[in-house]
Copies of this chain bind each other. A is one copy, B any other.
Amino acid sequence: MYRAPVAEIAFTLKHVIGLSPAITAGHMGELSADLLEAILEEAGRFAAEEIAPLNQVGDRRASTYADGAVTLPEGWAKTYSAWCEAGWNALSGPEEFGGQDLPVSLAVAAFDIWNSACAAFALGPTLTVGAVEALKLHATEEIKERYLARLVSGEWTGTMNLTEPQAGSDLGALRCRAERREDGTYRLFGQKIFITYGEHDMAGNIVHTVLARLPDAPAGTKGISLFLVPKYLVNEDGSLGAHNDVFCAGIEHKLGINASPTCTMLYGDGHYGDEPGAVGYLIGEENRGLACMFTMMNNARLMVGIQGVGVAERALQEATAYALERRQGRAPNAPKDGEMSPIVEHPDIRRTLLAMRGLTQASRAICYACAHAIDLADAGAPGPETNGDGTRFWNERASLLTPIAKAFSTDCGVEVASMGIQVYGGMGYIEETGAAQHLRDARIFPIYEGTNGIQAIDLLTRKLPQSDGACVRGYLDELAAIAEVARASNRDEMGKIGERLAAAITDCREASEYLLEEMAAGRMEGALCGATPYLRLFGLAAGGAYLAQGAISSDPSESEAGRLRIATARAFCERLCPQTQALLAEIKEGGQSILQVPAETLASFQ
């Protein structure tokens, strides 16, 4: 059912987003090309054999709730333990606490595979990795000592507690409160909703990271602090103590990712303990919690992007296999009296499959490029035009690519899953087939960790203006150089990859300059009307460039994979990249049509 595209993933890392030169330059620590491939190979094996079989059964049986306890579907806890024992949870964790400290790009590639195998399974560790990152950077030594090793190994899992009923995208509205205690600890009170893996039965402890507000905190986002709140208190010797006053009040019935419990969490409602309040420990400084949480959020956003890629890959593989097997009608050039053709021979089906592949592979490369930028920032690698420290350059690059990785990839995840259903025809609508689950699962990705609308606003208002636009301009110059190589290649099978890609990049440049000007002139509403089309435009241009880079690096005479890579890049650049013209036109309309009627008018249904 699922076979990890190890060779394609390794190729993308090494030859498309630049891991090979980074290894050569010594920025990737102990990682070698051989080690990279060995790890991916083993991840692929584990995913296909152990995790993939959980996907459909997890969807059907779902997590269940009773009296504060959540039971994961059968097989879940056992597979999770085996996965942790094999060291997979520790892949990118700090060495000091038992991690392997491997590059983020490799960890993201592994999560690409875990998500293809079962997104609901991969989601738990995704949160744990985020918690590890936040503790590593912001927690006291004592907390690190007490918690990090067991989060790195996966013996314990982590969560992110942000959302409250009245505070979703707007965290400034949150009300969960924290009181100081004389011993330096805190007591938390309040309700959190939509907490992924907030309660479950696959780990010995659950380490919640919780945003809350101190009594004397300023209003809004500047009065939010971050706390660690363990399900079970942890004694000084590391043994588990009493159940903290943390209670799971229920789980949601969702469209998809049914095995992943989405919990309502009550802190300090008196379910457990003698004294009211859930015991919490401050992470970072008081009232600076949002900054710490953003460490986790940025990581989580990239990790959500790769969820989109993972599910798209699975949908693509299954639709392709079905299209090769299912026979209906006769393709245009099939012999008249022969049998029915496999539907893959029908041009419209093949168009669909190549579009699915292009969107999947483009998203993948964007996510990997974002991860690679994080790695290079961590490594203090030089930027392309500096000889010294490139940390700022790579941080800005990672920061720029994060909303695109999150939103473009997850939109593509939904689109590819939906196209997958379409390839199956009527069978795609039957749950048994599995194609519909991919759409149901993927549909959350554009929503959580900041809706894709929020990502687009982030790209427009925070990332585009970085270094007065120089970050975006420099990036687009790099992409344009790829287009130029493609154009100059003079290889027939490359078609018009270079020309079409260059046009898309020019559109992206024009949109960027237009939006910078509009914002500088204070026409913010109009610019915001273009945020979502701008992100899409950016994703098409960047994705097209990475696909083109893959095509440039492929020798079609060498392998089938190379030929497919070139055809995919060509179909993407020639057929999908022209959409950038339309997106640019949409952006440049500003917001007049959208803003010309008052909000209430939108409700005049009759």
Chain A interface residues (CB < 8 Å from chain B): 3, 5-8, 163, 166-170, 172-173, 193-194, 252-256, 317, 320-321, 323-324, 327-329, 332-333, 340, 342, 344-354, 357, 414, 418, 421-422, 425-426, 428-432, 436, 439-440, 443-444, 446-448, 451-453, 456-457, 493, 495-496, 524-526, 528-529, 531-532, 559-561, 563-564, 567, 570-571, 574-576, 578-582, 585-586, 589, 591-597, 599-606
- The smallest beta-carbon distance between A336 and chain B, in angstroms, is 11
Residue pair B432, A253 in contact (C-beta under 8 Å): yes
CB distance from A588 to the nearest CB of B (A): 10
Q: How distant is the Cα of A580 from the Cα of B429 in the complex, in angstroms?
A: 30
CB–CB B599/A571 < 8 A? no
Query: A333 contacts B570, CB within 8 Å?
Result: no
Partner of A602, one of B414, B451, B564, B574: B564
Q: When the two chains form their complex, are residues A348 and B453 in contact, meaning their CB atoms are under 8 A apart?
A: yes
Which of B317, B443, B448, B574 has a CB less than 8 Å from the CB of A605? B317
Extra pairs beyond A8-B605, A173-B328 (12, CB < 8 Å): A3-B605, A169-B328, A320-B605, A344-B599, A348-B532, A352-B453, A352-B532, A421-B447, A422-B451, A429-B443, A429-B448, A571-B594
The answer on a CB contact under 8 Å between B529 and A351 is yes
Contact A604 B348, beta carbon cutoff 8 Å: no
The answer on a CB contact under 8 Å between B564 and A429 is no
Which one, B354, B561, B595, B600, contacts A347 given CB within 8 A? Answer: B595
Main secondary structure of the interface of A (DSSP, over half): helix
Whether A524 pairs with B332 at a CB distance below 8 angstroms is yes
* CB within 8 Å for A425 and B440 given contacts A430-B252, A431-B254, A453-B352: no
Determine if A418 and B426 form an interchain contact, defined as CB atoms under 8 angstroms apart: no
Q: 17 A-B residue contacts at CB 8 Å?
A: A3-B606, A5-B606, A173-B328, A193-B426, A253-B431, A256-B429, A324-B603, A344-B599, A347-B595, A350-B602, A351-B591, A425-B451, A429-B443, A429-B448, A440-B440, A574-B592, A581-B585
Asked if A194 contacts B253 (CB within 8 A), the reply is no
Q: Which of A8, A581, A591, A596 has the most CB of B within 10 A?
A: A596
- Interchain nearest-CB distance for A324 vs B (Å): 6
Q: How far is the CA of A333 from the CA of B595 in the complex (A)?
A: 12
Please list the 3 inter-chain residue pairs (A to B) with the smallest Cβ-Cβ separation, ordered nearest first: A578-B585, A570-B593, A347-B528
Question: How long is the Cα–Cα vector from A347 to B347 in the complex, in angstroms?
Answer: 39
